[in-house]
Amino acid sequence: MALTSTDDEHDPEGQTTAVDRSRTEALLAGAERHLVDLDAAERRLEDGDYGICEVCGRPIPRARLEVRPTARTCVDHAA
């Protein structure tokens, strides 16, 4: 069993560990948001609303959906 330090303050690699941990948490949060967006896009597809702007009701251009398949709005209404 390998020994690992959880005391960043006294670990000479502590700052690097803290940065790595923070980066990993940010990546995980981004991946979780992306999964939520994918689930929502799948529901819109099942409901027949996929590719329709939620603001103006016009079709979202195919090129936008190819780049951003989870898009909920057209380019004009993108935040």
Identify whether 34 is part of a domain. Answer: yes
Domain containing 33 equals: 19-77
CATH (domain of 69): 1.20.120.910
Q: Which residues of 5-40 are buried (b: 16+ CB within 10 A; e: fewer)?
A: eeeeeeeeeeeebeeeeeeeeeeeeeeeeeeeeeee
pLDDT tens for each residue of 22-64: 999 999 999 999 999 999 999 999 999 999 999 999 999 999 9
Token pair of 47 as six digits = 């409901």
Q: What is the mean pLDDT of residues 55-74?
A: 97
What confidence score (pLDDT) does residue 9 get? 59
Token pair of 41 as six digits = 């896009």
Give the total number of structural domains in the chain: 1
Q: Is the pLDDT of residue 5 over 80?
A: no
Token pair of 4 as six digits = 């690992």
Q: Is the pLDDT of residue 7 over 60?
A: no
Token pair of 22 as six digits = 């923070």
